[in-house]
Amino acid sequence: MKHCIHIFAVLLFVISGSLCLAQTEQSNAKEDFKPAATNQPGKEFPKVNSEGRVRARISAPEAKRVQLDIGAVKYDLTKDENGVWTGDSNPQDEGFHYYQLWIDGAAVPDPNSLYFYGAMRRGSGIEIPAHDQEFYALKNVPHGQIRKILFYSESTDTVRRAFVYTPPGYDQDMTNRYPVLYLQHGWGENETSWPKQGKVNLIMDNLIAEDIANPFIIVMAYGMTNEGGMGGLRNFDIQPFQTVLIDELIPYIDTHFRTLTDQPHRAMAGLSMGGFETRLITLKNLDIFSHIGLFSGGSITPDDVENTPGFKEKVKLVFVSYGSRELDRGRGWGGDPRENTKALKEAGINAHFYVSPNTAHEWQSWRRSLYELAPLLFQD
């Protein structure tokens, strides 16, 4: 359970922002702020400048203190004569970040932003423009669909929701069948996280339009990682989710979509806790999955290969990735993931290691990881 405890520690860090002290540092911001792409329609604030600073604004005429809470730091806002509070953050890494406002001790979503599920709640998110944002930009190319499906799960006796990406052309050629990637979110997130902040459809549409990746179906289901809250994670049991995935969801997908249903055409990948789930489930089910992707969520070790009968014959791809800033911390989840992946490659396994430059345990790392993984999938 070493991996699990480490993931737990990193996540605690992410959500503990509210415990940090308020900053009073003056902002020497470059005055080229523009409305964030993640704002609600017609909302001017929050804005982002070319340094990646976030400028938030809210009217709260009777408040004593208003703060912007982003990147685990709280920044004091300043009130003007009309009761409108404004303030800047320090520069943020490029990509997507969760944030919130504090008004006289109440933690609330910013009423100007769109909302995203993460850190165990639906709340504000903000997009910091990235140098490579073209790969997930909305373009005039053929677009696939994101489909919300509802399927009955006998093991939990619930009707469960999942999202399915079908690639462009899926509804035109009715004879074609497609491989499937099962793609998991992290702890504190849910099945909406990849379709929304993950921008999974735009990444795939653009890759397919440029003929960089083959079209395939992507299924995004709730990994049941939040049950019991933080305490529950220490005792996380993979079995309930594995049952839903293997015994219920996969058969539903294979009967309701035009899939290729054999092992060589089924992959599983996930981020953080979803990577941990991917590792646990694929290693025990190599007759079902042939491609394995772990984003900021551990690695496959030479010991794993040795202890898993048939690994070398059955596994077509191992893909391991991290954000450079989390890797720099030197945390070895089950040993150094770069070294582990290198050892697999030297042992003749099709293993890839990717590092997302200048990003941490966050969505820009995982968007890039999907962008790097997709062209490697289903190449046989």
Among 35, 91, 109, 334, binds its own copies (CB under 8 A): 109
Q: Binding of its own copies at residue 41 (CB under 8 A)?
A: yes
Site residues for its own copies, 353-372, by CB under 8 A, read none
Minimum CB separation of residue 17 from its own copies in Å reads 15
CB 365 to its own copies: min, Å? 25
134 is an interface residue for its own copies by CB under 8 A: no
User: Taking CB under 8 A as the rule, does residue 17 contact its own copies?
Assistant: no
SS (H, E, C) the chain: CHHHHHHHHHHHHHHHHHHCCEECCCCCCCCCCEECCCECCCCCCCEECCCCCEEEEEECCCCCCEEEEECCEEEECEECCCCEEEEECCCCCCEEEEEEEEECCEEECCCCECEEEECCEEEEEEEECCCCHHHHCCCCCCCCEEEEEEEEECCCCEEEEEEEEECCCCCCCCCCCECEEEEECCCCCCCCCCCCCCCHHHHHHHHHHCCCCCCCEEEEECCCCCCCHHHHHHCCCCHHHHHHHHHHHHHHHHHHCCECCCHHHEEEEEECHHHHHHHHHHHHCCCCCCEEEEECCCCCCHHHHHHCCCHHHHCCEEEEEEEHHHHHCCCCCCCCHHHHHHHHHHCCCCEEEEEECCCCCCHHHHHHHHHHHHHHCCCC
63 is an interface residue for its own copies by CB under 8 A = yes
Site for its own copies in 112-131 (CB under 8 A): 114-115, 120-123
Tell me: does residue 105 bind its own copies (CB under 8 A). Answer: yes
By CB under 8 A, residue 20 contacts its own copies: no
- Measured from the CB atom, the residue of 35 and 332 that comes closer to its own copies is 35
Quick one: 30 or 148, whose CB is closer to its own copies? 148
Question: Which of residues 103 and 286 has its CB atom nearest to its own copies in the complex?
Answer: 103
Q: According to CB under 8 A, which residues from 254 to 293 bind its own copies?
A: 256-258
When asked if residue 250 is in the footprint of its own copies (CB under 8 A), the reply is: no
- Of 58 and 271, the one with the shorter C-beta distance to its own copies is 58
Considering only residues 81 to 100 of the shown chain, the ones binding its own copies according to CB under 8 A are 83, 100
Residues 135-174 that bind its own copies (CB under 8 A): 138-140, 143, 145-152, 159, 171-172, 174
What residue ranges bind its own copies (CB under 8 A)? 40-42, 58-66, 83, 100-101, 103-109, 111, 114-115, 120-123, 138-140, 143, 145-152, 159, 171-172, 174, 190, 201, 205, 226, 229, 256-258
